[in-house]
Structure 1
């Protein structure tokens, strides 16, 4: 194992970024065809949404156990296990398509979600080995790694489908089998890149933070609180509200924008452009968001993110012109980035070493439930009340992180509001 601290830290950061990029590319290739495969296998358009719900359900149910697993096995083996699980799930989903089994397909997607629940904690792995004054930047770089994957993944779906068709299989099986191979590569990358003296990196990262910002009163590095006990800490509550509500509001606006645009005469080119701009808002500027989080403070960026997210909710329904919709969706993505990056950094700052992985898993379970609720609510609101009302609900949800920070600020313990 490597012993040089700067070299080991660089190796871990680059490895996590590369793994995030590959994982997002693999997942995006599957997402491109999942709903189409669901309709084909079930024979009912009404069941198309079950594909996304299966992934979200797996992520929500597995996030907390994944955190406990990492607390027991360590970040390296926990993340590798997550990638291997996702690979197995993608293979099962591809097998389900080949065998025309809707049940096997959905079960495979559920297992993919379980694996993704572990991989989503890559950002916390980066935070764990990075000094507090640079922690948000490290987390944002890992999140930024998803940008290239989100763009390239859908482009791989068609060639993979043609490959499957040439072999006499269902064309939709190709992207799922590609996803399985992609996650297997992610497992190898993580196994190699994280083969460092992890505890030495953790100890080194804690030293500056210990001098600059003491552990909040009543919380020791060895203490293991329950999730309910941890929520009594204002900073923990503010971080969770920021991530969960930011996620729910973002999914509300994003999940139905394609249908909203299609209903008003936009073609696939316009829809794809808006989705791409939204994804750029989510990921492309995350390094800048991370830098601002370290410089201005976690709570300040959460507030800014919530305000930008609310602005996106206001702009999106004001016009049916593609540039205007795209601007609103970009703001929604950028606002989500502020809530997610700063919220993740604030959460990492507030937890002791012994409880960190477990409680981060519990937090991600809440975030995944919020995402599922946003996805389900988006379709129901669009069908029942229209896009304008949907955006208004998104605005109300996006307001909650701002209120959460305001409510907890007067009661907060030291939580690195501003780091230097």
Structure 2
């Protein structure tokens, strides 16, 4: 089979209307899903402390992160077998079930049920993460970065708006007889259900299945990179079912493709560094501010950090298409290193620490957008869902591990050393990104004319 969308324009159907419709739907559901995730997370630690005790509050929050990572596996299996629509719907509905279980656990003071609910609540995050990959199934090669980044940017709306709804949700739900702090999770469940219904009813035709049909129908003449044909053959050979799906098959696919390895590493390492530094920044701020002032300061600093992560993602996507995937990954790494240097040297200077957190968010955006784009276009269409699920699994576990380890590092050697270790952790990614790799198509052949090479 041929790689989707690399055939000459006259040789394949016009997918632009389908892609525009898909992007509009994804933008809408990403906003709704973002509100659902953030409105629950904003009160999650407080609710967990009330039900399970302060000692277990952090573990309850971590359960949501781990849940998102683990749920990526079954969700992408569904996508590989049946398409994006049933996979995204399943993920959102799983998150909705998790929200309902959290409400029940809060009402009945059932700690094990609370942890199960938080684990399943991660389905909302899993759906939001997979939405960015859905945006590039039918994207033209020259626009993949921008269209992926548009869906990432939609998260900004939900992330900014959701905390403002938390109090309203809690007040409204208290009138229904729900205990304090349970209301936001009830509203999260409703938001996830709404997003699932919109996708179930309107995401037609399925973008991944459409891309596969195009790939099956369009033979491509590979070129030597300069546009001259070297003989007609299909650019994406049929893969066995064992290699199409499953984490082992996905790992083999990534391992065989240097560009895919770089894309996966960029996403995972960028997330690891970001989470490690960001999660301990409130503790650092608490060392220099009074209890009455620290929450306000933390809110401002983290808001600036979130703005760095998402607000400029369309610009990052444009640069990814304009300059190439690899240069933007390297730029993201440079920003991460600068962030670690600035934050580590800031001491108790809050404005300087804020600058460090903004740079941290921008670096994450660079590695996430460019890395996700490179990963998606570097593997065969049949393998994409499994490879993307593997990426989200590794990214989620890396973030959860970084969050857990950062507390011990902070207590043992302090915040400056934590930022130094985070900077050291990203150095292997620099070596991987600088390693010369000949431009290849997803099956290992040279890219056909008009397709972006892996060098950017």
Distance in 2 between the 1:174 and 1:221 partners?
A: 51
Q: Does the CA-based 8 Å contact 1:310-1:395 persist in structure 2?
A: yes
CA offset at residue 169 of structure 1?
A: 2.4
Q: Deviations over 1:37-73 (max 9, x none)?
A: 1111123x22121122111221222212221110112
Distance in 2 between the 1:127 and 1:212 partners?
A: 22
Q: Does the CA-based 8 Å contact 1:128-1:205 persist in structure 2?
A: no
Match of 1:227 in 2: 250
* SS of the residue 1:170 aligns to: coil
Match of 2:364 in 1: 336
Q: Deviations over 1:338-377 (max 9, x none)?
A: 0010000111111111111112111211111111111111
Return the match for 1:163 from 149, 168, 172: 172
* SS of the residue 2:71 aligns to: helix
Match of 1:255 in 2: 279
Distance in 2 between the 1:419 and 1:246 partners?
A: 19
Distance in 1 between the 2:281 and 2:220 partners?
A: 46
CA offset at residue 223 of structure 1?
A: 2.2
Match of 2:51 in 1: 41
* SS of the residue 1:327 aligns to: helix
CA offset at residue 281 of structure 1?
A: 0.6
Distance in 2 between the 1:412 and 1:418 partners?
A: 5
- Cα RMSD for the two superposed structures: 2.6
Change over 3 Å in CA distance of 1:28–1:118 after alignment to 2: closer
Change over 3 Å in CA distance of 1:49–1:187 after alignment to 2: same
Distance in 2 between the 1:283 and 1:207 partners?
A: 37
Q: Deviations over 1:223-249 (max 9, x none)?
A: 253233221311111111101100000
Distance in 2 between the 1:212 and 1:300 partners?
A: 25
Does residue 22 in structure 1 map to residue 32 in structure 2? yes
Query: Residues 110-129 of structure 1 correspond to what in structure 2 (within 5 A)?
Result: 110-129=119-138
Distance in 2 between the 1:160 and 1:8 partners?
A: 36
Q: Does the CA-based 8 Å contact 1:28-1:154 persist in structure 2?
A: yes
Change over 3 Å in CA distance of 1:218–1:211 after alignment to 2: closer
Change over 3 Å in CA distance of 1:347–1:206 after alignment to 2: farther
Q: Does the CA-based 8 Å contact 2:84-2:206 persist in structure 1?
A: no
Change over 3 Å in CA distance of 1:214–1:141 after alignment to 2: farther
Change over 3 Å in CA distance of 1:213–1:17 after alignment to 2: farther
Return the match for 2:62 from 53, 70, 85: 53
CA offset at residue 206 of structure 1?
A: 9.9
Does residue 74 in structure 1 map to residue 83 in structure 2? yes
Segments of structure 2 that go 5 or more residues without pairing to the other structure are 1-12, 226-232, 244-248, 443-451
CA offset at residue 189 of structure 1?
A: 2.2
Q: Does the CA-based 8 Å contact 1:133-1:419 persist in structure 2?
A: no
Segments of structure 1 that go 5 or more residues without pairing to the other structure are none
Q: Does the CA-based 8 Å contact 1:69-1:78 persist in structure 2?
A: yes
Change over 3 Å in CA distance of 1:27–1:214 after alignment to 2: farther
Match of 2:20 in 1: 10
TM-score (norm 1): 0.92
Q: Deviations over 1:175-218 (max 9, x none)?
A: 11011011111112222341226344565699999578899x99
Match of 1:275 in 2: 302
Change over 3 Å in CA distance of 1:310–1:218 after alignment to 2: farther
Change over 3 Å in CA distance of 1:184–1:25 after alignment to 2: same
* SS of the residue 1:267 aligns to: helix
Distance in 2 between the 1:371 and 1:254 partners?
A: 11
Q: Deviations over 1:296-354 (max 9, x none)?
A: 11111000000011101111122222221111000000000000100001111111111
* SS of the residue 1:264 aligns to: coil
* SS of the residue 2:34 aligns to: helix
CA offset at residue 75 of structure 1?
A: 0.5
Query: Residues 167-182 of structure 1 correspond to what in structure 2 (within 5 A)?
Result: 167-182=176-191
Query: Residues 13-412 of structure 1 correspond to what in structure 2 (within 5 A)?
Result: 13-43=23-53, 45-196=54-205, 198=207, 199-200=209-210, 220-224=236-240, 225=243, 226-230=249-253, 231-265=255-289, 267-319=294-346, 320-407=348-435, 409-410=436-437
* SS of the residue 2:382 aligns to: coil
* Larger Rg belongs to: 2
Distance in 2 between the 1:68 and 1:48 partners?
A: 32
Change over 3 Å in CA distance of 1:37–1:210 after alignment to 2: farther
Q: Does the CA-based 8 Å contact 1:242-1:404 persist in structure 2?
A: no
CA offset at residue 267 of structure 1?
A: 2.2
